[in-house]
A = this chain, B = another copy of it.
Amino acid sequence: MKLGRLNHVGVATPSIAGSIDFYRDVMGATAIGAPFDLPAQGVKVCFVDTPNTQIELIEPYDDSSPIAGYLRANPGGGQHHVCYEVPDILAAKAWFEERGRRVLGEPRIGAHGTPIFFVHPKDMGGVLTEIMETPGETH
């Protein structure tokens, strides 16, 4: 496997609305997508474009959200994960598993509409890592 594009940095926030204000007014972002719900992942999502990658703002969808615990520990929000693109999600899953990395669940459709999975941070140098099939790739 070859290291792919950094598709986005995932940033947890208690309020996507507040974070949109911050990225627009303080960071100077000019391309901010419309927030949307991803209930199957337990998050609300909003993408902020930088010239070369994106910031994915994620807010808990409800109290059972996987990031609710993160926000209890970090009430102001913070860096949550990084996401790399791969050409083939199933080949990537096999690659990581063959190298003893814990893939968290089966591939599922992510915020960009292509299959994704997460790899356990303790197997990834402390970095919660999302692996995402590049949009537009076909097999």
The answer, yes or no, to whether A99 is at the interface (CB within 8 Å) is yes
Interface code A116-133, partner B: CB below 8 Å = 1, 0 otherwise?
A: 000001101111000000
Interface code A48-86, partner B: CB below 8 Å = 1, 0 otherwise?
A: 101111000000000000000000001011110010100
Please give me the residue from chain B that is nearest to A32 by CB atom: B3
Residue from A12, A19, A52, A126 with most neighbouring chain B CB atoms (10 Å): A126
> How near does chain B come to A18, taking the closest CB pair, in angstroms?
8
- Cβ of A13: which chain B residues have Cβ within 8 Å of it? 125-126
Interface SS of chain A: helix, strand, loop or mixed? Answer: loop
B79 and A79 contact, CB distance less than 8 A: yes
The answer, yes or no, to whether A29 is at the interface (CB within 8 Å) is yes
Find A9's partner among B4, B19, B82 (CB 8 Å cutoff): B82
B11 and A9 contact, CB distance less than 8 A: no
- Cβ of A99: which chain B residues have Cβ within 8 Å of it? 25-26
- Taken together as a complex, chains A and B put the C-alpha atoms of A51 and B53 apart, in Å, by 11
Instruction: Contacts A9-B9, A9-B82, A79-B82 given; indicate if A125 touches B22 (C-beta within 8 A).
Output: yes
A50 and B96 contact, CB distance less than 8 A: no
4 closest pairs, A vs B, by CB? A78-B126, A77-B126, A1-B28, A79-B79
